[in-house]
Amino acid sequence: MDGFTAASAVVGFIAGLLDIAEVVVQYTRNTLGEKEEKQALLSEIEATNNLLKKLKAKAEGSQWLKTISTSMEESDGPFQRYQSALVTAQKKLEPSKTGAGKAVERAVWHFQKGKFAEILDKITRSKADFALLLSLYLVVDI
């Protein structure tokens, strides 16, 4: 795979994560209840997305392409962990398309404490890993 194709793949993958995150943010904002938990989730997603946007800019310059590509391929790496957390949250918060009861269930915040903590932990760990990657890039760029 040439550098341009690899860069496009990395940028596309990160853009996909940002798209999923935006859906989760919209779903979260449309639920009722648990303001503190919702705010914590939204804050972590926003902070993580800001780091992802910076990583995406690095990938577009392809200077860090190999490192970013390697990080994306790790099965429990920061990219996969973040994607897993977002997909789990998306499925839990997605509005139902059938049945009034399911629609009501999806309209309220209904995470179990353990599941919410697990999702938030995955996002927080991914954010820390993305911050570390960026700090390494900044040190080398100077």
- Quote the distance between the C-alpha of residue 124 and its chain's center: 10
CB 71 within 8 A of CB 133: yes
Task: Please state, in angstroms and rounded to a whole number, the distance separating the CA atoms of residues 72 and 86.
Answer: 15
What are the tokens at 103?
A: 């629609």
CB 74 within 8 A of CB 87: no
How is the chain split into domains, by residue range?
A: 3-141
What are the tokens at 119?
A: 């999702």
pTM of the model: 0.80
Per-residue tens of pLDDT for the chain, all 142 residues: 555 666 677 788 889 999 999 999 998 988 888 889 999 999 999 999 999 998 888 777 666 666 677 777 778 888 899 999 999 999 888 876 766 666 666 667 778 888 899 999 999 999 998 898 888 776 655 4
Task: Please state, in angstroms and rounded to a whole number, the distance separating the CA atoms of residues 140 and 15.
Answer: 25
Q: Which residues contact 83 (CB under 8 A, 6 or more apart)?
A: 17, 20
pLDDT of res. 142 = 41
Encode 120-136: b = buried (16+ Cβ within 10 Å), e = exposed.
bebbbebbebbbebbee
